[in-house]
Amino acid sequence: MNQLRWDPTLEEWVAYATHRQDRTFLPPAEYCPLCPTKPGGFPTEVPRESYEIAVFENRFPSFAPDAPEPEEKGSALTPTASGRGVCEVVLYSDEHDATLAGMSEGRIRNLVEVWADRYEELGSLDFVQYVFIFENKGEAIGVTLHHPHGQIYAYPFIPPRPARELRAAREYSSGDRCLHCDLLSQEHEDGRRIVAKGEHFSAFVPFYAHFPYEAHVYARRCIPSIADLNGEERVDLAHLLKRLLVGYDNLFGFSLPYMMVMHQAPTDGEDYRGVAHFHIEFYPPNRTADKLKYLASSETGAGAFIADALPEQTAATLREALESAAP
Ligand SMILES: [Zn+2]
Ligand SMILES: [Zn+2]
Ligand SMILES: [Zn+2]
């Protein structure tokens, strides 16, 4: 069911999870499998009448802990491997219509705790090399269930994009400097693309943003993972996420779709201090209220992004949306 095939032209694994075709697709709200199980109602994924935050293993996983060696052996040129890994679903709330943006900072703070816990626990599994924490939000991103949730993929390899970022950071850091620390100081000094500043985190539209309203949330301290955040930093991360998300929803006056991804240290046993620098990246697909940025031929076939707004402009607009939304 779960297998990996090697693409030698791009030097990357492609994961096959054929049973995913049968997964639940946009069910009516009364049949939401992520809502609590109502007394006398149909059993959902959570056999309780209410919950705060819940985590469970995805029933339609892209990777599974017990994935067998694939029957398809491939060749020396195109080998296969078992799709061994873990896929978890993180439910942010038992309220079907809630969103992360609408949640209290206290709840988001608890979520940070859950993310850190899952990073450590999944990362400690011997077959897991990278714990990828993410959220796909909105139908524009292809979300199949509206209930507020994120996901975690514990991959048996370091996925290509983080691997590329880590390679760049390692090459840069040969002179004892962290690439991300230097990027962050550059953004602070310039200031035009800063969207929000907390005590321990900063949010900005990067100089080289791929999506118009892309925002990166960087820990100011150079730490490899979310698990390395201290108590104050966790509180501040919740605070900054709340501000950014409320601003995002205020940008066009509707709940903004986005992809949220966390970049941090792989869990393959190597030392990533000074190379991996914990940060969260948001990619909203909207160029305007009603136009989306599609990944078309140049982006998909050439890997070259074409953007039609400068980050200085979009950062100013987004900053305004944050400021006018502030209580
Ligand atoms: Zn629900
Ligand atoms: Zn750093
Ligand atoms: Zn990154």
145 close to 27: Cβ distance less than 8 angstroms: yes
The Å distance, Cα 229 to ligand 2 centre, comes to 13
Amino acid 301: pLDDT: 94
67 close to 29: Cβ distance less than 8 angstroms: no
**Closest-approaching ligand to the CA atom of 54:** 1
With 70 as the cut, is the pLDDT of residue 23 above it?
no
pTM: 0.96
With 80 as the cut, is the pLDDT of residue 146 above it?
yes
232-244 CB burial, b ≥16 within 10 A, e <16: ebbbbbbbbbbbb
DSSP 264-320: ---SSS---TTT---EEEEE--BSSSS-B----HIIIII-----SS-HHHHHHHHHH
Amino acid 263: pLDDT: 98
Active site residue 149: yes
The Å distance, Cα 241 to ligand 2 centre, comes to 20
DSSP state, 120? H
The Å distance, Cα 261 to ligand 2 centre, comes to 18
User: Could you list which residues have their CB under 5 Å from ion ligand 3?
Assistant: 263
Helical packing angle, 231-252 and 311-325, nearest 10°: 100
312 close to 213: Cβ distance less than 8 angstroms: no
Amino acid 280: pLDDT: 98
The Å distance, Cα 55 to ligand 1 centre, comes to 14
Q: What is the pLDDT of residues 203-249, one digit of tens each?
A: 999 999 999 999 999 999 999 999 999 999 999 999 999 999 999 99
Quick one: average pLDDT of 254-261? 97
Phi-psi region of 70 (alpha: psi -120 to 50; beta: other; left: phi over 0): beta
Quick one: average pLDDT of 269-273? 95
In the chain the domains, ranked by start, together with CATH numbers, are 24-59+85-325 (3.30.428.10)
> Could you tell me the sign of the dihedral formed by the alpha carbons of 283, 204, 209, 120, in that order?
negative
* Mean pLDDT of the residues in the chain: 94
User: Could you list which residues have their CB under 5 Å from ion ligand 2?
Assistant: 178, 180-181, 222, 277
Joined tokens for residue 12:
């990357």
The Å distance, Cα 46 to ligand 2 centre, comes to 39
Backbone angles phi, psi at 290, to 5 degrees: -125, 10
d(CA 276, CA 180): 8
Q: What is the pLDDT of residues 161-186, one digit of tens each?
A: 999 999 999 999 876 899 999 999 99
The Å distance, Cα 279 to ligand 3 centre, comes to 6
List the catalytic residue out of 147, 149, 263, 279. 149
Joined tokens for residue 141:
């991103």
Quick one: average pLDDT of 131-141? 95
